[in-house]
Structure formats: structure tokens, C-alpha cells
Chain A
Amino acid sequence: MLMTNLNVVGKRVLRQDAYEKVVGGKGFPVNFSLPGMLHGKMLRSPYPHARILRIDTSRAEQLPGVKAVMTPKDVPQIPFNPIFFMPAGSMGIHRDMLILSDTVRFAGQPVAAVAATTVAIAEQALQLIDVEYEELLAVFDPEEAMKEGAPEIHVGVKNNIRDTPSFSAGDVEAGFKDADYIFEGTYETQRVHTCYMEPRVCVSDTDSNGHITIYSSIGHLFGLRERMAYVLGLPVSKVTAVQAPYVGGSFGSKIDFAYIEALSALLSAKTRKPVRFEHTRYEDFICNARHPMKVHLKTGIKKDGTFTARYASTLCDTSAYSTHGPEVILVHAYFGLMLGYRSPHMKWEGTVVFTNNMPGGAFRGYGAPQAAFAVESQIDEICDKLGFDPIEFRLKNTPRQGDPHPFNPEWKLNSYALDECLNKGAERMGWSQRAKTGSASGAKKRGIGMAAHPLWVSGCVGFPDIYEHSGAIIRLNVDGTAYLSSATMDIGSGQNTTLCQIAAEELGLAFDSVRMAPGNTDNLPFDAPTHASRVTYSSGNAVKVAAADAKKNLLEVAATVMEANVADLEVRDGMITVKGSPAQAMSVADVVKRAESPFMVIGAQGPAPTTLKEKGTIMGISSVAPPANASPAVAEFVEVEVDTETGQVKVLRAVYAHDLGRVVNPAAAEGQVEGGLQQGIGFALMEKMLFDPETGACLTSDFLDYKMPTAVEMPSKIECIFIESNEPTGPFGAKSLAEACLIVPAPAIANAIYNAIGVRIRSLPITPEKILAALGKL
């Protein structure tokens, strides 16, 4: 049972940082500057695959205002992988990037960098650097890249195949023999960009001891410190990463190291001045993006609607470097493709391929949107063909509350309410009144579709080597307020507010009495990145433990000065009272004052604190690794209108049902759903990065060419149904939300389009051209 007598958790409190953001938002990293700061710029290769034969920087160096120029020979040649959620030296990742390399593997890869007194001079200096390239043959299509004779992108990687992970359970061939029906299809997804609005930016500053301090828009403070130290060949204690109060979006992208952080540090070390880099939008676009995948899915079904066998294969373009490819494909396979639906026999085979495309990165959902598009589209095909009700069909084949987790039998689905998500969502959408596929008349046809995502664990996934511990510090002030410090970065989701709610609830303070106090890697405990729907659960747990620790220390002092037993005391709304005798009360502020100034007598109440431990600042601290993040369950229903004359699709309404355990802040939770839908509609209908087929140059490098949904393309009705199951391992029963909001929209929309016009599109985005072609109108 969820606790019901909560004061702060579960309330729609206003975000603390919103006041500052509506008047200017001075805390964004992009506003950070230091006196005497230089400006850095990178020279980028026009070729997608080339060897650098010679670089002449002499003319650039002579330009007045230029303070340093760097080429590959000036930077440490330590191969690295930019992913922050695993240790830099982890066995599980491939390290094949260099800060500056004499081999170029994608168009736009940096080949040199400049620091100058102004941005304009730095840009001018780039024009004066002469680079002689030896062009190499490039390949952009992963299937071409695997063929014999394709250009070799990394020495010794045969056929450009980086990895071929697989798994199987049972005997899939026997399972297909048992099947009454077999369904087979190929589903393709495209390269899309996170489009965080604040550009990547950083300022590095080096002191006379060579200690580097970096201010940045990154989504993982400790990852930044660790990766900086690693690529520069320094101990981690030589790097300090400073936390910004908030960052203008990440959606996964900013949990990676980019080139600018290392280059700013190196240029700062060389010039002994702070050096700032800010990406242009073009540079942000080619920094990292979602991996395009091609999924082949084959499913054996019995007449009773149960699965006999599920086979899938995935081709993943990991781009010019390994980065996330080998990881993202595993999350995609386990939590996206296979484990959400039961089958006695399963098999999956993955192929991760190098191409000369821009790097792949993390993007909300991490491989699952690509998987859900395949799985949920095919289930719709199965139900349509065999006449099953899509909701009953899903319930028949998905896990139930109390089941062991299919990924790790040591975990249990303690809280799991997919049935409620499906049933309540269906009822709200009016699912039972859904028209028969293709029965709509007129040129504009409406349809309803749905998709579920039965199982999702991203943060706390239990894969080896993945950072998952969190820490927090709570300090009580003499005015009865508390500061909370946590190394998680608030990239926009409002976690600083929800974490303060958790702290306030545990401490017995009013929400307004807890404030997030930013810190840096010198004075904060470690926390994993802001990614993978993990912050409320993992960091929330750490905050709760730290707050409980602070409260225990508070009550020990209170017991002395109030001459009561600790066990008899309670704190509520900033007042400490003795249970059963409310007249015996003291404010938190007064107790903290007594602890901070134990010798103060004037106006003081009760005996002075005595032991050493009772005297001094009242604090709480934690560093904990929570157990596996429990799986949420999700279903989304959408209604679309397809204009069969123009091929345009409009999403009219969305009903999103999600079992997220305790809702800590309903407004913040709704915001995740609404924003996830915007990204989902973009993924489903509009967004696709395009590249010149000859040169590999990005053609969608600004918002005029890369089209994401505006307010006009969004439905006016977005309804959230939050199912509050109680997750015993989560703070106040909470589990996770963020990523699932973007996993389900694309298949739900594709299925709604099918319901409207009877046409199945198996590649994203579903553009007007594809619809008109499928209707035979092109």
C-alpha cells in the first residue's frame, strides 16, 4: 500500500528554478565566462574518410589574437570511448576515438583546434590552416559496409563488423514448427537527433599546478571528470568538474564526452588561460544521434494467441566509432525486443557495423524506440490478421505482478500494473468504439491505434560495469532550512525539484525549506549520469537515505535539549514534537541553532547539547547503490487523421497510461509525457537526418532543414493516466518514467495510421510520400 499521509511528495509544487528561468536563466552553462577567457574553435574535415598527410598551421599562428593551435601531434593519442556511464577503462567498451587523429572517419571530424581572443579571430584562423588530406573511399550504408571489398574503416575490423552479440532460449526452430501461423517483417528506423536547445558549451581553466577546472553543459559530472583525466593521461584528482544549476536539455546526448571538453583543457593548459568552446548548431547536429536500426522480426503464433517462437535480428549502424553501438544494441534486444512478451523459444542476433557516418549516441529510450516500432507494429499485424483484440492479446503474453523479472530472476516484478495501463487507457480513448480498419470514408480518415511497452529497465540495469551508485548530502541551516547537494545534473526534467520534495518529506520540512545547492566533483559524492530514467529512483533513494541520516542526527540533538526520547519525537512542517503531547514542541531551527552554538544560553530552551557528536552542523550523507530499477509498464493510445489526398498525418489525441509507482510531482510527470510525445511524433512522422550521399556532409544541420514538431503539429489533447503501484525498493514507492514516454508513440501512431487507411508502413518516418506511395497515388 502506498503511504497516504505525505505532505510534500505527490504534490504539484512549483519548480524552484522556474522563477529564475522566466527572467533570463542566468544559471545556464552557456552564460558562464571567466576573466581573460579565450575562445576555441575546431577545424573539421570536409571528407568522410581520409588520412591527414600534413597540416601547416604557421599562417594561423601568425594571426594577431591567436594564442594556440593544436593538431593531432599536439594532443595525447590515448584512445577513448565517450560513454560516461561506464568506467573509462572498462573491459566492456571499445576505445577507438582520439581527441584529434590523423585518420578521419566521418565528415566533420575535428582535425585541428585554435584558441584566440575572440570567436571571430578563431574562425578566421581556421581558414588559415592548410591541411593536406589523402582521400579514402567511404561507405555510408551498413549493408554495403559489410560486403567484401568495402573500405576498411578501422584497421583489423573485418568487414567493418564491430560486434555480433546474440542470445537464445529454447529451440527457436522447433518453436516455429509448433506454430499455427508465422509472421515476418522488416522494420527500419532512421537517424534522429535529440535537439537539446542549449548548445554544448564548456570552459576549462588550468591553474599553475596543472589542475584543470571545467564548467560545462554535460549530463554527468563525474563522468566528465573521469573521461577528461583519462584522455589527458592525468589522475582524476587533477580535474574538477563544476556543476551548473541547470542545463538546457540533453535527452541522452550530453552523457557523452565531446571533443570540446578535452580540447578546451589542452588549449587552456598550453595558454594558461581559460578557454571556452560553444558548439554551433551544425556541430551539435553532428556530435551524436540515435542509431538507425533495421530489425527483422519473425514470430510463431498458436491459434489461442500465444507465442511459440520469437526470432529477431538487428542491424545497427554504429557509425564511424564504436561509442554506444555494442551497448545500445543489447538494451534494444533484451528490454526492447524480446523480454516484454513471453515465448518458450527465443533467439536474437545482432550486428553492429562501422560506417563513415557521424557518431551514434544515447537518445531517450536507448534502442527501445527502434525495437518497439518493430514489435508493436507486428503485434498489431498479428491481431488484425487473426482477429485478436490487441489488448487481450497483449495481456495474455506479458508478465504479471509478482513474476520474476525475465532478465534477472533474482529481481521480482514487485509492482507491475500493465493490465491497468491497458484497460484504463482503452476506456479513456474509447477503444471499444474503434472503427474497423480502413472503414473510414472521405478523403480525411481517422484511426485509433495503440502500443504498449511491457518491460523496461534502463537505469540500474544490472549489466556489468555500469555506474549505478548515487550519493547526496543534506545540511541543516540555523533558520530551519536544508541544503541538498547531489551530483546529478538537472537537464530539464525538474529533478532538482523532485529530489527536494523527497528530502523535505523525509526530513519533515516544508517544500520551500529545502534548496538544491550545486557543488563540484571535489565536494560532492559520486552520482551516475542523468540518463536512463534513473534519477528519481536511484538519486531519489540516495537523497532519502541522506535525509534520514540528517533527521536521525537532528532528533538526537532534539532529544537532549527537549529532554525526551528520540523514539518519541516526530518532525512535521519544521516543528519537532513529542508524540502524544503536542505542547512539547521545538522548531527545527531552534534545535539546529543549539547544535551549531551549544554555548548559547540567551533564549535557549532546555539543556545544552552535551556529546561531541551533538555539537556542530547537523548533516546527513549517503552513497548507495540501489537495487534494480523496477520495471514501469506503459500503454499509449492515439487518434490520428490521415489526409489521403496529401498524405499528411495529424495526431489528434493521445492517452498515455504509465505505471510509475509513486508520482512525486504530477506536473513534472505530465511534462515528461508531453515532451516525450513531441519527440515521438517527430520520430514517427517528421524527423530524419539527411546526408550528402557523396561527401557524407550533414544536410539537416539547422532547424530549417531538420523538422521537429512545433505547437501546430502537436495534439491539443494529451491525457496522462498515472497508475501508482507501490514499488518497495523506490523512494516513497516511486519508479521511473522518462524514456518510456518516447518508446511507445511511434508504433501507436503507425498502428493508428493502419487503422485509418489500411496501409502498413514499416519504415520511419512515415512521411506523406510514403503514405501516398502506399495508397498507389504516387
Chain B
Amino acid sequence: MKQLISLEVNGDTHEIAVEADATLLSVLRDNLGLIGAKRGCDSGGCGCCTVHVDGKAVYSCMMYALSAQGQEIVTIEGLGTEGKLDPVQDTFVKEGAVQCGYCTCGMIMTAKQLLHDDPHPDEHAIRHGIAGNLCRCTGYHKIVEAIKTAADN
């Protein structure tokens, strides 16, 4: 049985009918066309699906869409656009932190949260802060550099 819910995403309100067991990730991707959050595992293991819910980075594959009602959801699409990048998006491009790019959006959402909580993290804090986001391409090296640079700016 579907239920009609209302979700607040990137400042827009969406009325949608969802199954009770639909995850926030599937609703973002399949109902709202917000494809920045990626399905990497659907089981809380990779972080590709990371979005912000009420200011906290969460795995959207591990949250029911129903329980995200009434909360402020921000996805990568809410950060910046190609012509006007958020500073973290910008440093990811400039530092070469993007390879295949499948982890990138989730990684940036986690990095945003990290920098929000601690605007000047040391390397140890950065590495632990992004430990819930996997990347198979970069060895994290340029990702860590990008987050450092974003913090310095």
C-alpha cells in the first residue's frame, strides 16, 4: 500500500506516493530524479548514497523515505551547479580527487558535514571522518588533500 508523503528536498517540497518500505535513496533517485546520491551497495556499506537530513550526513539507503518526512533533506544537487560550484565541489575538481566519480557525491556530502562540525580538521580527523565512504579508485589521497584545501580556504 502506497502512502502519500511530502518531502522537503533542497528547499523544494515534493508530494509523492511511496511504499512503506521505500528507502530515501530510491525515492530520491527513482521518484524525484535526483541521481547524485548513488546506489553502491544498498546496505550501509559504501557511502555512495550519502545525503544530509536535518544537517546530518546519512546513508540514504538505510533510511525509510517515510521517516524523512518533515526533515530538511539536502542532496548534492542542493550544493552547487556546474557554473557555480560549492567550494568543496570545486576543490574536488581542482585537486584531482575525482576519478570514476561514483563515490564522489557521497564523499562530498560527508566532507561538507565534516567541515561543518570541525572547520579545521587535521588529517587524522579527515581520514576518520570519511572512513564510512569507500572509494576504489583514488586511494583517498587526493580526496584528503581536497578536503584539507577546502578547510584552508
Contact = CB atoms under 8 A, between A and B. Distances in A.
Bind each other: yes
Interface of A: 12, 14-15, 17-26, 28, 30-31, 120, 194-199, 246-249, 251, 278, 280-281, 491-494, 667-668, 670-671, 673-679, 702-704, 708, 710-712, 714, 716, 718
Interface in B15-44: 19, 34-36, 38-44
A249 B128 contact: no
Contacts of B44: 704
A21 B77 CA distance: 11
B131 to A, nearest CB: 4
B51 to A, nearest CB: 12
A435 to B, nearest CB: 26
Contact of B45 (A15, A198, A702): A702
Contacts of A26: 35
A667 B19 CA distance: 45
A668 B43 contact: no
24 contacts: A14-B96, A18-B92, A20-B82, A22-B80, A22-B85, A22-B104, A23-B76, A23-B79, A24-B77, A25-B36, A26-B35, A28-B35, A30-B39, A31-B35, A197-B103, A248-B101, A249-B102, A491-B100, A492-B102, A671-B142, A674-B138, A678-B136, A702-B41, A716-B123
B35 A711 contact: no
Given A120-B19, A671-B99, A716-B123, A25 B104 contact: yes
Interface residues of B, number: 55
Contacts of A14: 93-94, 96
Contacts of A678: 135-136, 138-140
A280 B42 contact: yes
A703 B100 CA distance: 19
Contact of B136 (A25, A249, A704, A714): A249
B96 A24 contact: no
Given A248-B102, A704-B44, A19 B82 contact: yes
A17 B137 contact: no
A675 B38 contact: no
B137 A671 contact: yes
Contacts of A20: 82
Nearest to A681: B139
Given A197-B134, A679-B136, A718 B38 contact: no
B134 A199 contact: no
Contacts of A246: 100-101
Nearest to B132: A710
A116 to B, nearest CB: 15
A679 B134 CA distance: 12
A671 B143 CA distance: 10
B68 interface: no
A198 B41 CA distance: 9
A12 B36 CA distance: 27
B126 interface: yes
Max chain A Cβ within 10 angstroms of own Cβ: one of B79, B103, B141: B141
A248 B96 contact: no
Given A671-B137, A675-B99, A704 B45 contact: yes
Interface string B36-64: 10111111111010000000000000000
Given A22-B93, A674-B139, 13 more contacts: A14-B94, A18-B96, A22-B89, A23-B76, A25-B35, A28-B35, A30-B35, A248-B102, A671-B96, A675-B99, A702-B43, A710-B127, A716-B123
A494 B99 CA distance: 6
By Cβ-Cβ distance, the 7 closest A-B pairs, closest first, are A492-B100, A703-B45, A248-B102, A21-B101, A674-B139, A24-B36, A197-B102
A185 B26 CA distance: 51
A676 B139 contact: yes
Contacts of B102: 25, 28, 196-198, 248-249, 492
B98 interface: yes
Max chain B Cβ within 10 angstroms of own Cβ: one of A248, A281, A711: A711
Contacts of A195: 134, 136
